Structure 1
C-alpha cells in the first residue's frame, strides 16, 4: 500500500486489521480503529485553521493518507497481530504531522496531549500503575502474576556489554503494551518489538532484540525436551549440556538425526558448548536460523543455536579418527562466525539424509531420452536442496533435421519451459524455491530466442519466468565485437565439436565451419553482426535481468582439470567452473571465510586466517565422503575429482575495519592481498590433506601436477587470447615457490579449492555484508521470508558518533535519502567516500577488485554489478571491461536509471520513509539501451564514465537476488 502523504491522492485499505488491539490508559483492551486517528488529526487541523478545515480537500486527503500510513506501519511492525498502547499511536500521529511540515498543527496536538495529561493527573486517574497486578497466561492455560523481576533480568541480560542501549526504556515501553491475561509469548513479543523499534537509533539494539528472541527459543526448545519450562541467559550456562543430550536422543528417536551421533562422547561435546556465543547474533541472523534452519517436530523448534552448530560439526566429523576433537574444532569455527558452512550443509549435516553439497552442474545430451533423464536428475537434485546449472548447448537448434522421425527439431526452448516448471514443482525439500540456470553458447542458432526467455511479452509457452539463464560466451565472439566483425550461428547437430573446443582450437574450427557455409557444405546457419548480438545481450540483461554473461575460454584455459574434460557452464550462481559430461555431474561443496572476523587492530590477521582456512578446507573435504548423492553421476564425479569451493564474505566490513573506501585503489589492493592469503593457505591445506589422506584420483595430468597454480594459469589465457585483448595484474607478495614445491611433492586432495559464492543467507546469520558486495544502503528495511528488519550500518553510526553527528536529524536525513550520506551536507567528505553505497561505487571498482581476486581463484566468483545512470554505453563499457580484465563470470546486473538517482521532486510526506526498494533481479520491462558506443581503445572502456538512462529500480530483496540455493 502506498503510504506517501501526497495531497490529492486517495489511499486504499485504510482500515487496520482486526487482530491489532489497543491498551487504553485505564488498562482496558479494545480493537484498533483507524478512524479514531482520522478524527484526532482532523480536530488538530480545526484547532489551528478553524471549523472549515475539516471540509478542506487538502486536509481530508492528508488525514486519510496519514491514517493509512500509520495503520500500515503498525501492521508491518506486528504482522501477526499484537497490542499497542494508546500513547504509541499518539506518538505516530504527532510524528506524521511534523514529517509532513504541519508544524503548527503538530504543536497544537502536542499541547492538547499535555493539557489532557495534566487533567488526568490532577483527577488522580490514568497514572500507569497496574503492572505489578498484571497476570500472565502460561502455556498450559493457567494464570500467574507477571514476574517483573524476571522481565528486568531478561532485558538487562540482553543489554549486557552493549554501549548506548537503555534497558530501563525497553522495560518501561514494553510494560505499556501489556494487558491482564497476556500470554507468556506475548510478554516476550512486547519486549522484542520495543527493542526492534530502536534499531534505527543505535545498531546495538539489533543484538538486544536477538537476545530477547532467545527467551522464546529457549522456552520452546527446553520445554519440548523436558529440560526446563524456561531459562534466562545466565541459566543456559548449566542447561545447554542437558538440552544437547536430550536433543540428540529425541532427534534420533524422531528419525531426524543420524544414529551415529549417539556414538560420540556427548559429555565432552556438551562441555564444549559455549552459551556466551548466543550473544553474538543480530536479530536478522537469529530469526533466519529459527525460521529456516532449526530442526523441528510438529512445527516445534527443539534445536537451540549452539546445539545446531554442534550438530553440523558432528555430522562433518563422522569419519574422523578423533571425532570429538574434530567436532569441537569445527564447532569453534562455526559458532564464532569465523567461517560458515553453506546452507545445505547447515540444513542436513548430522541428519539422516546428509545432502550437504551446494551446486550441481550437468550437460544435457542431444537425444530425447537423455533430455528427460537430465530433467529427472534436476528434480532429484533439487529435492535435496541443490542449486543447478544445466549446459544445453549440445541440444540441436530449431529447424535441425531429426533422423529418427525425418522431421525438424523445435530447438532448445520448449525443453527449457519444462525445466522451468520442474523447478517450480520440486522445491528444495519444501524449504525454499527450486533454482536452476540454463547455459547456452553464443554460437548456438537458438541464442536469439534464448535471450528472450525472461521477457514478459510474447508466446508464454516459450518463456521461462521462474528460472535463470546465462550466456556462455567464447573469446572469439568478444574479439568479433571489439573488431566489429560478423558472427555466425550454428546448430550443434551439424557442428557438434564446437561444444568441446576452446581457445585457439575453437577459433580454428569455428572459422572452418564458417568457410563451409560459404562453400555450401553447411546449409543451416545464420550470419549476424557481432555487435548487434552483443547489443541484444545487453538489452535483455537490462530489461529482464537475464541472461547473465559468463566467459567460456578463461573458465577452461585456467581450469586445473583440462586433462579430464571441458567446463561447459557455470552453476546457478556463476562461481563454480567444473567439468561436465553425460557421465559426470559436477558437484561443489561451499563454505565461506568471514573476512571481517580476521581483521584485528585494523589489520588482517594472517595467522588466524591460516588456522581458519586449514580447518575450513578439512570440513569441505569431509563433505565429499559423507554426502548423500541423489544421482550416481554426481557421486562418480565428486569422488573422482573432489572439488570444493572456499570463498569469503564480509569483504565490505573488512574494508570498514581498515578505514578503506570501496571505490579506491586501496580497496583493489586489499582485494588482491586478502585473496592471495586465502589462496595460499587453501592450496597448502589441500596439499597437506593429500599427504594425510591421499591425492584425488585425477590429479596426474592436472595443472597442479605440472606445477601450474591459479596465478600461473593467467599466462595460458594471455597466450591463447592474445595480449591485445587482456590486461591482468600478476603481482604477488607471498613465497609461491614454496607452495609449488609442496604440491609437486604431496599432490592435492582437491581438484579445485576456491570459489566465491553469494552467501545471501549465511552472511545474515553471521551479521556481516554479503560476499564481496558493497553496502546496499546505510539504513534500510530488509524484507525476506523471515519478515522485515531494519538494517543500519553500525560502522557508519560509530564514525558519525565520534564526530558528534549522530542524532535524530541525521536519522531522518538518511531515511529521506534512501540510506545515502552523499546529499547530507554536514557529513565530511572522507565519510562520504567511505560510506558510498552500491550504486554510488562506479562499476569499474567492482570489476577491478574482482579481477585482482580472480587471479588467485581456481574457479570463479559471483560478481553482481551495480550501475547507476545506466545506458547502453555504460553497460557495454562495464561488460567489455569484465572480459578484458580476465574475469570468468558475472552475475546479476543491478541497474538504476538516471531519473531515479536524484530526489529533487520527492514529496515531503515521504521524508522519513525507510527505503526498502532494492533493484529487482527480474525487473519490469524498460526501454532497452540503444546507445552502445564504439570503443576507442582500452582507456575508453576502462574509464567507466556515466551515461544517461531512464530505468527506475523495482522493489525486491537482496536475499532473493543473491542465490540462496548455493549459500
Structure 2
C-alpha cells in the first residue's frame, strides 16, 4: 500500500521568510506559553503520531514513518486544520469543510441552526448553508399573523454571529447558496452591493439545467415557493442580473447544481444543495470532509531541463498514503455536533487534491493553459483518481466499506466508470472505504508554508509579489514573496538569469485558459474545484458572460470569476 521504508530526507530549511512566519503563526504547536514544536520536523511528527494513533499498536511505528515521510519536503500538505490541531490538546476539528442542516422555515429552526453553526465555527470549521428553504420576504406567516422577513434577514444574523465567534478568520468563513427559482433570488444576487453587509459570507447561486435551457431559449422563468408560482420573469434578465453583479464585484459565484448532484458518487443517498465556504466540497446536511493536497512542484525530476518529468510512481505512493491519513483523520477528529460525527462515519468522505500545479507545469517547460498543460493536468488527475480509489478499495478490504455503501448504486456512478479496468475490478471486489475521495481545494496558506508553491490548480499569480499578512495582535504588514518555481530557477541559474518564456502568470492568461484547466481536472475529481477565472479589467461585458456558458459546456460544476474592480480588494499585489 505504501513504502514505509523509503529513505527520509532531512528537514528542509524554509526557502522564504514568509514560510517560517506562517508556520509560527498557524501550524507550530504552542500552549500555555510553552513551545512544543521546535522545528517543522516536530510538527510533522506530531501530526503523524496523532493520525497513526488509531492503528494497531504493532502497526503504529511504520505508519507514523510513512506519514512523516509523505509530509517531509512538503510533498503532502494536510489541510490547515490537521496541521495545526492534530496531536494537540486543542478542542478543534480537523476537518476543513462543513455544510449545516437543512434550515427549517421557522424561528426555532433558524436559531437552532445558528447555534449549531456557532459551535462548528468555534471549533474551526468553515461552513455552508442553503437559504432556499426559508420563505420569501413578505409572505404571510400564519402562526404569527405577520409578514416574513425572508432569507436575507436570517443571513444577516448568521453574519453577525460569525463575526463574533471567529474574529480574525476574515471574509469567506461561510457560504450561502440559493436556488435560481427562489422568489428572493434577485435580492440575494445583489445583497453584497452594500459593502458593509454579509462580509463573512461567500454567495453562490444554484443554477439548474432547466434554467440554463431557459436562458438559451430566451423563455420566461418561474420563481416558486411551496409549489406556487410567485412571479415570472425573463430568464435572460435574471441571468444578466447575476452576470452584472459578478462582473462588478466578483460575486455571486455560480453552481451548476444538477451536474453536482448527477455526478455525486453518493447521489443514491442524498440531494446536495450547498457547499463549504470555498465551494470545492459540495456536501449534504451535516456533511464534512478533511482535506490534503499532494504538492506536484516537489515531484518534478530534472526541472528546467529537456529531461524534466513528474515522478508518477512517487505520486501514486503519496496519494495512497494521503488516503490513509485522511481516513484516519475522520476517526481522530473532534466534531461540534453528534450529527456531524455520524455523517462522517457513515459516508467517510475525504478529499485528496493537488497544489503546485502551475509551478510543476513551468518546471516541465510547458505554458499554463496550453494544450500540453491541459493534457498534463488531466493525466496527473487521472493518476491521482485511480491511485485514490485503489487505496480506498484496499482499505475497505482491511477495515470494511463505509457503512452507507451500496455496491450496485455506487458502481454505476461516473466516478467508477471512468476508472482504469483493474482499479474498477478492485472496487467491485472489495468495495470502498470512502464515499468520495478527491477534491481540489484552495491552498493559499499551506502553499505559502511550502515555500510559496502555486495554489491548487491556479496559475502562478506573479513571480514576485507583496502579500499582506496579519501579525499577532491583528496588525497588518506587507511581505515580499517569490514564486517557488521562479525561486528554484534563480537558485539553479542565478538571480539575474531571465525566466524562460513559458513562465506565465495570471495576468498573461485568457479566461478560456482558466476554464480549460478547470475542466481538464474536473473529469477526474469526485467533488468540486476551487478555481477563480481571472479576467482583465477591460473585458467587455458580453465577452465576460460567455465565460460561464463555456464553463457549463466544458463540464465544470461551477464558475467563479474575478475582474479587478472598485468593490473587492486583494491580499496580493504585484
Give the TM-score, by structure 1 length: 0.55
Point out 4+ residue stretches in structure 1 off by more than 3 angstroms: 272-276, 297-302, 430-434, 793-805
Residue 692 (str. 1) matches residue 382 (str. 2): no
Residue 659 (str. 1) matches residue 365 (str. 2): yes
Residue 883 (str. 1) matches residue 541 (str. 2): no
Residue 563 of structure 1: how far off its partner (Å): 1.4
Change beyond 3 A, Cα 1:701–1:743:
closer
**Distance in 2 (alpha carbons) for counterparts of 1:798 and 1:624:** 36
Do the aligned partners of 1:780 and 1:790 also contact (CA within 8 Å) in 2?
Answer: yes
Residue 736 (str. 1) matches residue 420 (str. 2): yes
Do the aligned partners of 1:277 and 1:335 also contact (CA within 8 Å) in 2?
Answer: yes
**Distance in 1 (alpha carbons) for counterparts of 2:71 and 2:170:** 23
1:326 aligned to which of 63, 70, 81: 63
Give the aligned partner of residue 143 of structure 1: none
**Distance in 2 (alpha carbons) for counterparts of 1:794 and 1:338:** 14
Residue 860 (str. 1) matches residue 528 (str. 2): yes
Residue 578 of structure 1: how far off its partner (Å): 2.5
Give the aligned partner of residue 186 of structure 2: 448
Deviations 1:54-113 (A, max 9, x none): xxxxxxxxxxxxxxxxxxxxxxxxxxxxxxxxxxxxxxxxxxxxxxxxxxxxxxxxxxxx
Change beyond 3 A, Cα 1:776–1:699:
same
**Distance in 2 (alpha carbons) for counterparts of 1:635 and 1:797:** 43
Do the aligned partners of 2:399 and 2:433 also contact (CA within 8 Å) in 1?
Answer: yes
Do the aligned partners of 1:645 and 1:752 also contact (CA within 8 Å) in 2?
Answer: yes
Unaligned runs of 5+ in 2: 303-307, 472-476
Give the aligned partner of residue 175 of structure 2: 437
Do the aligned partners of 1:315 and 1:350 also contact (CA within 8 Å) in 2?
Answer: yes
Change beyond 3 A, Cα 1:313–1:957:
same
**Distance in 2 (alpha carbons) for counterparts of 1:354 and 1:424:** 18
Give the aligned partner of residue 248 of structure 2: 543
Give the aligned partner of residue 434 of structure 2: 750
Pairs within 5 Å for 1:467-546: 467-491=201-225, 494-495=226-227, 522=228, 525-546=230-251
Residue 772 (str. 1) matches residue 477 (str. 2): no
The DSSP-based 3-state class of the residue aligned with 2:119 is helix
**Distance in 2 (alpha carbons) for counterparts of 1:956 and 1:358:** 23
Residue 669 of structure 1: how far off its partner (Å): 0.6
Give the aligned partner of residue 924 of structure 1: 566
Do the aligned partners of 2:95 and 2:290 also contact (CA within 8 Å) in 1?
Answer: yes
RMSD value, Cα: 2.5
**Distance in 2 (alpha carbons) for counterparts of 1:657 and 1:489:** 50
**Distance in 2 (alpha carbons) for counterparts of 1:273 and 1:614:** 17
Give the aligned partner of residue 474 of structure 2: none
Do the aligned partners of 1:397 and 1:446 also contact (CA within 8 Å) in 2?
Answer: yes
Change beyond 3 A, Cα 1:345–1:793:
closer
Give the aligned partner of residue 87 of structure 2: 350
Change beyond 3 A, Cα 1:795–1:744:
closer
2:50 aligned to which of 315, 323, 341: 315
Residue 741 of structure 1: how far off its partner (Å): 0.9
Do the aligned partners of 1:469 and 1:546 also contact (CA within 8 Å) in 2?
Answer: yes
Deviations 1:726-779 (A, max 9, x none): xxxxxxxxx711111111110000000001000111111112111111111122
Do the aligned partners of 1:649 and 1:769 also contact (CA within 8 Å) in 2?
Answer: yes
The DSSP-based 3-state class of the residue aligned with 1:440 is strand
The DSSP-based 3-state class of the residue aligned with 1:886 is coil
Pairs within 5 Å for 1:261-272: none
**Distance in 2 (alpha carbons) for counterparts of 1:711 and 1:888:** 18
Do the aligned partners of 1:754 and 1:859 also contact (CA within 8 Å) in 2?
Answer: yes
**Distance in 1 (alpha carbons) for counterparts of 2:278 and 2:183:** 25
**Distance in 1 (alpha carbons) for counterparts of 2:558 and 2:408:** 22
Residue 556 (str. 1) matches residue 290 (str. 2): no
Give the aligned partner of residue 131 of structure 2: 392
**Distance in 2 (alpha carbons) for counterparts of 1:860 and 1:451:** 22
Give the aligned partner of residue 956 of structure 1: 570
Give the aligned partner of residue 761 of structure 1: 445
Residue 871 of structure 1: how far off its partner (Å): 2.5
The DSSP-based 3-state class of the residue aligned with 1:366 is coil
Do the aligned partners of 2:180 and 2:207 also contact (CA within 8 Å) in 1?
Answer: yes
Pairs within 5 Å for 1:210-609: 276-299=10-33, 301-304=35-38, 305-321=40-56, 322-352=59-89, 353=91, 355-362=93-100, 363-427=102-166, 435-456=173-194, 463-491=197-225, 494-495=226-227, 522=228, 525-580=230-285, 585-601=286-302, 602-609=308-315
Do the aligned partners of 1:598 and 1:609 also contact (CA within 8 Å) in 2?
Answer: yes
Do the aligned partners of 1:563 and 1:701 also contact (CA within 8 Å) in 2?
Answer: no
**Distance in 2 (alpha carbons) for counterparts of 1:802 and 1:436:** 42
Give the aligned partner of residue 612 of structure 1: 318
**Distance in 1 (alpha carbons) for counterparts of 2:278 and 2:503:** 27
Change beyond 3 A, Cα 1:365–1:955:
closer
**Distance in 2 (alpha carbons) for counterparts of 1:439 and 1:770:** 25
**Distance in 1 (alpha carbons) for counterparts of 2:172 and 2:496:** 43
Residue 629 of structure 1: how far off its partner (Å): 1.0
Residue 789 (str. 1) matches residue 479 (str. 2): yes
Residue 572 of structure 1: how far off its partner (Å): 0.7
Do the aligned partners of 1:565 and 1:579 also contact (CA within 8 Å) in 2?
Answer: yes
Give the TM-score, by structure 2 length: 0.91
Do the aligned partners of 1:454 and 1:464 also contact (CA within 8 Å) in 2?
Answer: yes
**Distance in 2 (alpha carbons) for counterparts of 1:852 and 1:887:** 9
**Distance in 2 (alpha carbons) for counterparts of 1:803 and 1:306:** 29
Change beyond 3 A, Cα 1:805–1:620:
closer
Do the aligned partners of 2:519 and 2:554 also contact (CA within 8 Å) in 1?
Answer: yes
Change beyond 3 A, Cα 1:298–1:281:
farther
Do the aligned partners of 1:595 and 1:651 also contact (CA within 8 Å) in 2?
Answer: yes
Change beyond 3 A, Cα 1:795–1:595:
closer
**Distance in 1 (alpha carbons) for counterparts of 2:113 and 2:55:** 35
Residue 674 (str. 1) matches residue 380 (str. 2): yes
Structure with the bigger RCO (C-alpha within 8 Å, sep 6+) is 2
**Distance in 1 (alpha carbons) for counterparts of 2:261 and 2:23:** 38
**Distance in 2 (alpha carbons) for counterparts of 1:690 and 1:604:** 29
Change beyond 3 A, Cα 1:324–1:791:
same
Do the aligned partners of 1:273 and 1:306 also contact (CA within 8 Å) in 2?
Answer: no
**Distance in 2 (alpha carbons) for counterparts of 1:282 and 1:333:** 21
Residue 790 of structure 1: how far off its partner (Å): 1.7
**Distance in 1 (alpha carbons) for counterparts of 2:255 and 2:127:** 16
Residue 792 of structure 1: how far off its partner (Å): 2.7
- Kindly tell me the number of residue pairs found equivalent between the two proteins: 552
Do the aligned partners of 1:312 and 1:345 also contact (CA within 8 Å) in 2?
Answer: yes
Deviations 1:111-143 (A, max 9, x none): xxxxxxxxxxxxxxxxxxxxxxxxxxxxxxxxx
Residue 663 of structure 1: how far off its partner (Å): 2.8
**Distance in 1 (alpha carbons) for counterparts of 2:420 and 2:8:** 38
Change beyond 3 A, Cα 1:286–1:344:
same
The DSSP-based 3-state class of the residue aligned with 1:613 is helix
